[in-house]
Structure 1
Amino acid sequence: MKRSDTVAEAAITLLAERGMRGLTHRAVDEAAGLPPGSTSNLARTRAALLELTLARLTSLEERALAPAMTGGLPSREELPDVLAEAVRVQIADRRRTLARYELALEATRRPELRAIYDRAGRRFRDPAVALLAAAGSRDPARHARQVVAFGEGMMFDAVAGAGTTPSRADLREAMRELLSGMLDRDPDTGGRRATRP
């Protein structure tokens, strides 16, 4: 593993275990088992350390989510399974997900980090638009935002909220119900489900 990855991995662990206040250059050196000053040599400022950490976190999330997204665009019937698996993967890695929440909150206070965080987020949101378009959404950009928000809510509830960890079946059924509400609407009935004679 490259030293930059070692530093970023230690930073992710510190964020998950101690929060943003526990993330210092010295703490990263200690957690990574590196000589004092190693982290400062790679990322001189706190902003640079946060950027390095977010880049590594994004790479880890892309790698973790890749198996759920292989095989091309899923069918409408397969889509709830694909989305449920993506949420399950994020819930399963509590360390990574908690670190991302810490970085998301910090991004609300640091415009430079906000720009980087939003760019990283588009790498996950843009594929969601393609998935919803392939599933027949009449407004894939809006529906993708809703699906991502719904998934984020389930993740937060399981990892940082008061909820329990949902089963794969629970996640699939939740996604099936959400998608049904989005995609099974007839615009000629004012947004209500079309009734069949």
Structure 2
Amino acid sequence: MRGLTHRAVDEAAGLPPGSTSNLARTRAALLELTLTRLVELEERALGPALEAGPAALARRPSREALTELLVEALHVQIADARRTLARYELALEATRRPELRRVYDRAGRRFRDPAVALLAVLGSPDPVRHSRQLVAFTEGVMFDAIAGAGERPSREDSRAAIRELLDGMLGPA
């Protein structure tokens, strides 16, 4: 995080010195701008999974369609470890900066709210609680694969784990 400075951004982007300062005058503004851009990149990377999944589930809700959506999203995030690690760094920074926490939480709702809706459609008795658990599970798998001591799970392992989790939330298929 210390390396994220106005000067470093200018250099990395090939911009004249001071360019980043025109957009983000303070460090807090620079962090918020960075988080906003990171969310845009995640949405773009997850776009195909996020667009296809809810549309498919709206047409024909199924636990299997949700499982495949989650497997795809999980592996997209693990594959781009650099972006995911940057999000973790910003999450930790947000624990120390309330203004960044608000931006981080607002960005997170863009991913969490659809999970609530999908679980409700599939019959979850508590879709809000279950969506928090689902997000916590996938975040834990990503963290373990990228920054922890774990291995990157295969798609088959991810699929089995997500099915087991959904069975616990929704009852056996």
What's the TM-score once normalised by structure 2's chain length?
0.92
Residue number in structure 1 paired with 2:125: 138
Q: Which amino acid aligns with 1:170?
A: D
What is the Cα deviation at residue 23 of structure 1?
0.9
Q: Which amino acid aligns with 2:29?
A: A
2-structure distance, mates of 1:98, 1:145: 20
Residue number in structure 2 paired with 1:44: 25
What's the TM-score once normalised by structure 1's chain length?
0.81
Residue number in structure 2 paired with 1:60: 41
Residue number in structure 2 paired with 1:69: 50
Structure of greater Rg: 1
What is the Cα deviation at residue 140 of structure 1?
0.5
Counterpart contact for 1:25–1:39, Cα < 8 Å: yes
1-structure distance, mates of 2:64, 2:21: 50
2:64 partner SS: coil
Map 1:99-138; keep pairs closer than 5 Å: 99-138=86-125
Map 1:150-165; keep pairs closer than 5 Å: 150-165=137-152
Q: Point out where structure 1 has 5 or more consecutive residues left out of the alignment.
A: 1-19, 186-197
Deviates most, 60-69 or 95-104: 60-69
Q: Point out where structure 2 has 5 or more consecutive residues left out of the alignment.
A: none
What is the Cα deviation at residue 77 of structure 1?
2.2
Counterpart contact for 1:75–1:135, Cα < 8 Å: yes
Counterpart contact for 1:90–1:97, Cα < 8 Å: yes
Post-superposition CA distance 1:31-54 (Å, at most 9, x none): 111111111111111011111111
Counterpart contact for 1:80–1:173, Cα < 8 Å: no
What is the Cα deviation at residue 108 of structure 1?
0.3
Counterpart contact for 1:25–1:37, Cα < 8 Å: yes
State how many pairs are aligned.
Answer: 166
The answer to whether structure 1 residue 21 and structure 2 residue 2 are counterparts is yes
Post-superposition CA distance 1:39-75 (Å, at most 9, x none): 1111111011111111111111112112112341241
The answer to whether structure 1 residue 98 and structure 2 residue 79 are counterparts is no
Q: Which amino acid aligns with 2:110?
A: R
The list of structure 1 runs, each at least 4 consecutive aligned residues, that deviate by more than 3 angstroms after superposition, is: none
Map 1:2-17; keep pairs closer than 5 Å: none
Structure with greater proportional helix content: 2
Q: Which amino acid aligns with 1:53?
A: T
Q: Which amino acid aligns with 2:111?
A: F
